[in-house]
Structure 1
Amino acid sequence: MAVSVILHRVADYDAWRKVYDSVAQMQTDGGVTQESVYRMADDPDNVLVLHYFNDVDTAKAFFANPDLKDAMQRGGVQGEPRIEIFE
């Protein structure tokens, strides 16, 4: 099993969340078996996303998908997201 930890700032959480929810099928197709989203208590546009995968290779392939990068841009992700994968 693998888990990815994604930290990023978004321009507007509500706008980002609409895009995030719209790509649920991309997550399923990319091997995400479970996901959860959290917002920093004192900074609601600072977002933590956890994605679970069956293995590290599947997680790496998911994050290499250019459609994911496009979705992040459409969602208003600011700067380069921090993405860590753990097994």
Structure 2
Amino acid sequence: MTTLFVRHSVTDYRTWRKTYDAFSEMQKANGVTAEAVYQSTDDPNDVTVTHEFATLEAAKAFAKLDALAKAMQTGGVVGTPTVWFTQKA
């Protein structure tokens, strides 16, 4: 199993969350088997999300989706997200 982590700042969490939730069918259609959203305790607009996939290849393909980039822009992501992949040990 591979987990994709994405940390980014957003202009407004509630606006971002609506966009994120509306993207759930696209997540499922592209191999996401589980997901979670976390907010910093110091700044609610500092968001980290996790998405689990069966393979690293599926996770990398999802991260490159044009639809994902557009949703992040629509949701108010500020700057360049920090992205990393992990394997369950």
- Normalising by structure 2, we get a TM-score of 0.96
RMSD: 0.5
**C-alpha separation between the residues in 2 aligned to 1:37 and 1:65?**
19
**1:19 equivalent in structure 2:** 19
1:1-87 equivalence runs, <5 A: 1-87=1-87
SS class of match (2:44): strand
Tell me how far apart the structure 2 counterparts of residues 20 and 66 of structure 1 sit (CA, whole Å).
Answer: 15
Structure 1 residues 30-65: Cα deviation after superposition (integer angstroms, max 9, x where no partner): 100000001000100000101100010000000111
User: Runs (4+) of structure 1 moved beyond 2 Å?
Assistant: none
TM-score (norm 1): 0.98
Q: Which runs of 5+ in 1 are unaligned?
A: none
Number of residue-to-residue matches in the alignment: 87
Q: Which has the higher strand share?
A: 1
Structure 2: gaps of 5 or more residues: none
